[in-house]
Structure 1
Amino acid sequence: MSDYDYDLFVIGGGSGGVRAARQSAAAGARVGLAESSRMGGTCVIRGCVPKKIMVFASTYRESLAEAQQYGWSVDAGDFDWSVFAPKMRAELDRLEAVYRKLLLNSDITIHDARAVLKDANTVELSTGKTVTAKTILIATGGHPVRPPLPNAELGMVSDDIFLMEELPKSILIIGGGYIACEFAFILKGMGVEVTQYYRGEQILRGFDGEARGLIAESMHEAGIELHVGTDIAAMEKDGAGIRVSATTGSERTFDKVLFATGRKPNTDGLGLEAAGVKAGVKGEVIVDEYSATSAPSIYAIGDVTDRVQLTPVAIREGMAFAQTVFRDNPTPVDHELIPSAVFTQPELGTVGLSEEDARAQEPIEVYATSFRPMRTQFIGKTDKVLMKLIVSKATRKVLGCHIVAPEAGEMIQLAGIAVKMGATKEDFDRTVAVHPTMSEEIVTMREPTRTG
């Protein structure tokens, strides 16, 4: 019998921590898990899941408007947050209960408490209890941050969106990343007047330039007031609203302000130093390819490591950890060629290198086409979609695939398999098109639009 209370103690009940706990328990480990908030973590409670439900809700006004053009007698009316929000929150309650049941069915001991490291094998809980473990896994995730600005507490962060009692009439969103852009479309679709400030030259920094441009065009067409090269300089209470001064000199009052300006790992007060765990400048836990920290008995996965902040990545890291530590099968985490989606409207699906990054790496060919999709062209809409492949001249491998279109997230999951397998442009060319679809353009582009 071990001298420790547990073989593994997991700090954090998000997607990564729960998967690691269950996989380790299945390998025979005695596992305890502590979560100071709600089981399910960022993704389930205040991230991907409620956001995607809000995306669904926000699209019906436009869908019903299109339906009228197709001959249906329908009227969207107004969106009622008081009807939608309780149903969304009930779904999150259901999912949290599912997570708890999964843990209990795996014989994992749940501690509804905050856990702090006392040393490399000891954790102190906010209940006053102290537990020991042969191995400790940090999976505490991250949280959105406000900028260092006077009165910044007047603004919301993404966590607060799901807790609103009512929708504002107007909102200013600060930021140009995927969270900022997704909520701009969501809230606009729900009837909110949306203004967005981003200090950079173009939104969605780090994504393919051509794709970024098309999403920005779609924001303007949707009626989102997007201002690039603009940031917030000051804010103050103005009656029931918030008075905002921009770096461009303008002043306006909004009902709400949303900061979508970055996230920070949840390591403050975690006891990393006491346990001998090294952290980076942003507070992220430093790990190696096996998710091991500088303390031999402590590992870390997910957003707290600030590697790739995506839920499926945290889950993969949790599975690799369990293989490495409890199945005697050292498994490094594979962070190469991860497909991802931005749930703007239209969506952006991407895997591999952007045109800009690929061009800096080696000579390439670019195959791209932008066109009006059949569904909306029929009713005279001017929206466009983009299909794009980045191809290595030397190996003919597809280095990147970028899709801007409705349901691009669904498409990129399948395209991601081919790119991950090392498919060449000729492999794509040999694939028969599915007609009539938007995605058929991925396999029908014969001549490069540009090289370099």
Structure 2
Amino acid sequence: MADQATAQEFDILVLGGGSGGYATALRAVQLGLTVGLVEKAKLGGTCLHNGCIPTKALLHSAEVADHARDGAKYGVNVEFQSIDMTAVNAYKDGIVAGKFKGLQGLIKGKGITVIEGEGKLTAPDTITVNGTAYKGKNIVLATGSYSRSLPGLEIGGRVITSDEALKMDYVPKSVIVLGGGVIGVEFASVWKSFGVDVTIVEGLPSLVPNEDASIIKVLERSFKKRGIKFNTGTFFQGVEQDNDGVKVTLVDGKTFEADLLLVAVGRGPSTAGLGFEEAGVTVDRGFVITNERLHTGVGNVYAVGDIVPGVQLAHRGFQQGIFVAEEIAGLKPVVVDDINVPKVTYCDPEIASVGYSEKAAKEKFGDDRVESTEYNLAGNGKSAILGTGGIIKFVREKDGPVVGVHMIGTRVGEQIGEAQLIVNWEAYPEDVAGLIHAHPTQNEALGEAAMALAGRPLHG
């Protein structure tokens, strides 16, 4: 009987085995705590199975397709024939399966108790799974998010979300993408490379509206050059579908027709029906409200990841999971503000950013207290080899540190590591300008941009 009680009581009991949940569990066991991890589906959550990993696999297949079409430009004579979705899906699913197997082995090897089933918070120290109550001295809510739709817009038939798009076994002739944010532009990019006629419909005035204005301008110009059509500034009104396709109507009366409608209007927090409010946790529009240290204000209940208001990114949830484990262990970790969480959008061209946009910086510090510079990747040797254009933009507080780095171009996401260090360590452009950047790399462009902002551009 004592063994059974021990098996059902943990130092930390985590509800949700996605990025935030399993990161909490892994860091907690490193710190000598016992952990129970409740998961109703598969460890790894949305990111591994229906988000980050499979979508980036599709994007890599899309990149290879573009290389095949453009091979002659690089002196490689190949003939692009078609997209074999059976093979594409086998490649994508193989990556996911391998990562899933590795995660399962890691969790098991660390001695984390995985509790399979749909859990519900039934008290500030209790999660009930399939009728069995499990106790936790500390509870961490990490239930993730789901693909949202719009009021009155039902998913089904030819109206799909990213979940269905990832399972498609054919290449449609045409698609309307509802939403010009991260999910929308990534799928638009994939499908265009696969030979699909793509139109993005975005109610706000621009694509990727949360990015810096300079980045938006380059992306929209690049998409036009690629033949990706988009209509911005007018909201969706309705959709009709039949056996032949869909017809989308906007509030201004414009209509668009295609084979499919992809609804890519963001993700909602998965908190409904899980007992949070009944246990005293404050929930606002589905999001769990916490203080800056991710505590809900109820007992020893914390929350991490997409259910906490802010940017919905796997690495943010992952870092929050580590933070909470260390907080519970008494290590007093440093809070990382959402503004300093790096972001990458894996369309073609890629977008990467961290910190304040120029507009946001001016709102915070004042119009006359902000300086910025843009370095054109056309002047970068490695970018010329890759055949990409784009820019790297630095934003600084006048006479102060860099507060934002914004990039667009092929593979610039690989440069976000140094960019987030610059912003998070409050480096001055003069500090970065003095660092050595290997040649020829796109990474050099960060150094060039810093030199320019420090008042001593080398090639300007």
Same fold (TM over 0.5): yes
Q: Aligned residue for 1:330?
A: 332
Q: May I ask how many residue pairs the two structures share in their alignment?
A: 444
Q: Which moved more, 1:35-44 or 1:234-243?
A: 234-243
Q: Aligned residue for 2:373?
A: 367
Q: For residues 4-45 of structure 1, give each alpha carbon's deviation from its aligned partner in whole angstroms, at most 9, with x where no partner exists.
A: 622221110101111111222233333211111221011111
Pairing partner for 2:243 from 223, 239, 243: 239
Distance 1:374 1:79 in 2: 32
Indicate the RMSD between aligned Cα atoms, in angstroms. Answer: 2.3
Quote how far apart the aligned CAs of 1:275 are.
1.4
Q: 1:207-218 to 2 correspondence within 5 Å? A: 207-218=211-222
Q: Aligned residue for 1:391?
A: 396
Q: 1:425-436 to 2 correspondence within 5 Å? A: 425-432=429-436, 434-436=438-440
1:24 aligns with 2:28: yes
Q: For residues 214-258 of structure 1, give each alpha carbon's deviation from its aligned partner in whole angstroms, at most 9, with x where no partner exists.
A: 011111111111111233221122223222223332333321111
Letter in 1 for 2:333: T
Quote how far apart the aligned CAs of 1:147 are.
0.4
Q: Flag the 1:120–1:367 CA change in 2: closer, same or farther, 3 A.
A: same
SS at match of 1:73: coil
Q: Flag the 1:274–1:150 CA change in 2: closer, same or farther, 3 A.
A: closer
Quote how far apart the aligned CAs of 1:300 are.
0.8
Q: 1:124-135 to 2 correspondence within 5 Å? A: 124-125=128-129, 127-135=130-138
Letter in 1 for 2:297: S
SS at match of 2:208: coil
Q: For residues 41-73 of structure 1, give each alpha carbon's deviation from its aligned partner in whole angstroms, at most 9, with x where no partner exists.
A: 111111111111111100122222332012221
Q: Flag the 1:403–1:300 CA change in 2: closer, same or farther, 3 A.
A: same
Q: Which moved more, 1:305-314 or 1:187-196?
A: 305-314
Distance 2:347 2:78 in 1: 25
Gaps in structure 1 of 5+ consecutive residues: none
Conservation of the 8 A alpha-carbon contact between 1:60 and 1:76? no
Q: 1:242-391 to 2 correspondence within 5 Å? A: 242-280=246-284, 282-325=285-328, 327-335=329-337, 336-362=339-365, 363-372=369-378, 384-391=389-396
Distance 2:452 2:335 in 1: 37
SS at match of 2:91: helix
Q: For residues 374-415 of structure 1, give each alpha carbon's deviation from its aligned partner in whole angstroms, at most 9, with x where no partner exists.
A: 578689x7x6311211122132x1121111111111112122
TM-score normalized by structure 1?
0.92
Q: Flag the 1:116–1:228 CA change in 2: closer, same or farther, 3 A.
A: same
Pairing partner for 2:89 from 85, 88, 91: 85
1:113 aligns with 2:117: yes
Q: For residues 140-177 of structure 1, give each alpha carbon's deviation from its aligned partner in whole angstroms, at most 9, with x where no partner exists.
A: 01111110135454421122221223222111101121
Q: Flag the 1:287–1:69 CA change in 2: closer, same or farther, 3 A.
A: same
Pairing partner for 1:54 from 55, 58, 80: 58
Gaps in structure 2 of 5+ consecutive residues: 456-460
Conservation of the 8 A alpha-carbon contact between 2:18 and 2:47? yes
Q: Aligned residue for 1:141?
A: 144
Distance 1:12 1:440 in 2: 41
Conservation of the 8 A alpha-carbon contact between 2:383 and 2:442? no
SS at match of 2:445: helix
Distance 1:308 1:157 in 2: 20
Q: Flag the 1:449–1:190 CA change in 2: closer, same or farther, 3 A.
A: farther
Pairing partner for 1:161 from 150, 162, 165: 165
TM-score normalized by structure 2?
0.90
Pairing partner for 1:206 from 190, 207, 210: 210
Conservation of the 8 A alpha-carbon contact between 2:141 and 2:302? yes
Distance 1:318 1:439 in 2: 30
Letter in 2 for 1:389: F
Distance 2:248 2:226 in 1: 23
Conservation of the 8 A alpha-carbon contact between 1:316 and 1:333? no
Q: Flag the 1:296–1:350 CA change in 2: closer, same or farther, 3 A.
A: same
Distance 1:306 1:411 in 2: 27
Q: Flag the 1:5–1:433 CA change in 2: closer, same or farther, 3 A.
A: closer
Conservation of the 8 A alpha-carbon contact between 2:383 and 2:389? no
Q: Percent identity?
A: 27
